[in-house]
Amino acid sequence: MSQTLPATMRAIQLPTPGGPEAMKLGEMPLPQPQPNELLIRVLAAGINRPDIQQRKGLYPPPSGASPILGLEAAGEVVATGSAVTQFKPGDKVTALCNGGAYAQFVAAPATQCLNWPTGFDAIQAAALPENYFTVWANVFDLGRLQPGESLLVHGGTSGIGITAIQLAVARGSTVYATAGSAEKCAVITRLGGIAINYKESDFAEALARLTGKKGVNVILDMVGAPYAVRNLASLAPGGRLVQIAIMEGHLVDGFNLGAIMVKRLTVTGSTLRPRGTPEKAAIAAALREHIWPLLDAGKCHPVIDQIFPLAEVARAHELMESSAHIGKIMLRVA
């Protein structure tokens, strides 16, 4: 490691799980990059739902991961592990981190890092990894969404929702998305989606009207149990339901397996953080090939709701938990 780097850094500490106030800004030792890792001087980091769960003590980091919160960061490479050949000090990268992003420096596997897209700044670059890795792995890999097919996205103005809408539209799909206010529905429309206000009508009934009762090919859901039966009813024959969160519960009353059989449906899902480095590397390679050209060309872009300084991370978590935001909530670190 370079001798010019400090021995310690500012980082968000979590002495005990709890509310947003449980997080404290303190000094910690600089991480030491492993042979396959980059050491990145963090300029910006993103806030994500798993961070909230980890802060509450409900989502402990995997074995060997940094105990510091934060799953995505953008910044400058300051040191490389002995086995790294694809990046060098001075490169600007965005990283899917195995924790540790709420800090001035983070170590991340080089294969989980990508160069900043053309014209992006640190905030925009840091807004990419968690959402783009998640959407690619679930909508296009597990969900197998093809050009000309249709997609329903629940939570259409979340960071993941906005990413799914933009990428699916850019790749030639018709996209429907749910949201709970006229303001959020207007954002969905501007992004090229067809908005459904779930507070004004039952989303399954609205979707049936919009599709002439044909349903959609893929559904991306974060809500869970309350939507499960209606999701199955909203799929076309051969459709795929992809579950990426269970924010409102995981036990489903009155679940009828017959619906899956009759329409030849696939029900699947995943979480991103527990996946191993080779799996995440494969997703990164797919993004570099298929999605980074869209970002370079300005055809897709993250939507940023608010930016907070690192010391005000508690306010950022409070906003995330309120669900009042549209798009990404970010931390400016340097």
User: pLDDT for 258-282, tens place per residue?
Assistant: 999 999 999 999 999 999 999 999 9
Residue 142 in contact with residue 219, Cβ under 8 Å? no
Q: Write the class of the CATH domain 8-128+273-332.
A: alpha beta
Enumerate the β-bridge partners of residue 151. 175, 218
Residue 127 in contact with residue 36, Cβ under 8 Å? no
- In three state form, how does the secondary structure of the chain look? CCCCCCCEEEEEECCCCCCHHHCEEEEEECCCCCCCEEEEEEEEEECCHHHHHHHCCCCCCCCCCCCCCCCEEEEEEEEECCCCCCCCCCCEEEEECCCCCCECEEEEEHHHEEECCCCCCHHHHHCCHHHHHHHHHHHHHHCCCCCCCEEEECCCCEHHHHHHHHHHHHCCCEEEEEECCHHHHHHHHHCCCEEEECCCCCHHHHHHHHCCCCCEEEEEECCCHHHHHHHHHCEEEEEEEEECCCCCCCCCCCCCCHHHHHCCCEEEECCCCCCCHHHHHHHHHHHHHHHHHHHHCCCCCCCEEEEEEHHHHHHHHHHHHHCCCCEEEEEECC
pLDDT score for 143:
98
Q: What residue spans in the chain does CATH classification 3.90.180.10 cover?
A: 8-128+273-332
- Distance from C-alpha of 329 to C-alpha of 169, rounded to nearest angstrom: 23
Q: Write the class of the CATH domain 132-269.
A: alpha beta
Name the pTM for this structure. 0.96
pLDDT score for 138:
98
pLDDT score for 255:
86
- Distance from C-alpha of 54 to C-alpha of 269, rounded to nearest angstrom: 20
Count Cβ atoms within 10 A of the Cβ of residue 199 and give its class: 0-12 exposed, 13-18 middle, 19 or more buried.
exposed
CA distances from 33 to 72, 77, 90 (A): 16, 11, 16
pLDDT score for 227:
97
pLDDT score for 270:
95
Which are the contacts of 42, defined by CB distance < 8 A and separation ≥ 6?
73, 74, 75, 101, 103, 104, 105, 106, 333, 334
Tokens 């040191």 belong to which residue? 79
pLDDT score for 1:
44
- In the predicted model, residues of the chain with pLDDT beneath 50 are 1-2
Q: What residue spans in the chain does CATH classification 3.40.50.720 cover?
A: 132-269
- Distance from C-alpha of 139 to C-alpha of 148, rounded to nearest angstrom: 14
pLDDT score for 2:
45
